[in-house]
Amino acid sequence: MKVAVYAISKNEIGFAERWVSSMSEADELVVLDTGSTDGTAERLRELGVRTEVREVCPWRFDRARNLSLDLVPEDVDVCVCTDLDEVFRPGWRAALEACWGEDVSRGRYRYVWSFREDGSEGVVFEQEKIHRRHGYRWKHPVHEILEWTGPGPEGRTAVLQGVQLDHYPDAGKSRAQYLPLLELAAAESPEDDRCAHYLGREYLFRRRWNDCIRELLRHLSLPRAVWRDERAASMRCIGAAYRGKGDPGEARNWYLRAVAEAPHLREPYIDTASLLYSEGDWEGVLYFTGCALKITERPLSYICEADSWGSYPHDLRAIAYYKTGRLPEAYREAELALAREPDNARLRANVEYFRSVI
């Protein structure tokens, strides 16, 4: 089986050597450089990567990805799409081959999108950017996805046990291009629920509360918006927008709707608990964090947020128990919070304080 890794790059010379080392288990490495001015293309060539330079104007991620895919030799069997700020755990090639088969069209693998300050995993979900050489094209200007365009039905998606890709982004890179590209994606595909959700979420990041609410209400109305996890995420974003607008009552309504939509997720319960914490409703905090902690299996989905699975639920409970005069319980929860974030000075101080007063 012949395997090629392909990528796009722009001004990422600091990642080049690490990326090549990580991807070197492949037979071919191919990069489309879209206009680096820091020597990225030259450095990649020095490292043995087939690198071509071509500017993409107007910029769209799907066009750049498709141009990079076009550079992959025709006789390649399996294509692996990554970015230069991503790193495979060693042994990924053997794990890929062990799970691949003639009936497989693409592979699903574990992707760590972010890490916390202490080095522990943050947002983790399953990614599907490993695919057959032929029959696929990239679609959407941003948050692009692979679309099957080959003859006949698409083959099976294999779960690639043992394959893990870690993401170490450049925090200094601007996200300014994301909003106009997301607006373009929603305009090009108005019935696409995923585009609507991502656009509404981006409006939330930009603190454009009314635009966020409008777009996510549209998302919830779309016939294809049936994935309950993402529907709940839109409801949570609407709640956050109302909270940003200074309307905690409406925020609570939307958080509770998110709980009802996806009671199997921790995040809606934690959002509700966070709002109640700000209002001093300590029994409410204990109830909703308790509901969250009853969920013990962490989903591999981008909807899943690191805070809900780290120290935060126990930290909230420790403070709620303290505020209601239950010091032994506060101490127990403070210890649980510290166990999940042992380098946090505030959590350590909480444990020491509670230990001193019980």
pLDDT in tens, 72-126: 999 999 999 999 999 999 999 999 999 999 999 999 999 999 998 888 899 999 9
Which DSSP symbol is given to 121? B
Contact 33, 52 (CB under 8 A): yes
Cα(228)–Cα(251) distance, integer angstroms: 19
pLDDT tens-place string over residues 177-197: 899 999 999 999 999 999 999
Q: How confident is the model at residue 170 (pLDDT cuts 50, 70, 90)?
A: confident
Cα(14)–Cα(203) distance, integer angstroms: 31
pLDDT tens-place string over residues 226-259: 999 999 999 999 999 999 999 999 999 999 999 9
Q: Which of 18-22, 135-139, 169-173, 298-302 has the lowest mean pLDDT?
A: 169-173
Cα(207)–Cα(211) distance, integer angstroms: 9
The H-or-E segment that residue 200 falls in is: helix 193-205
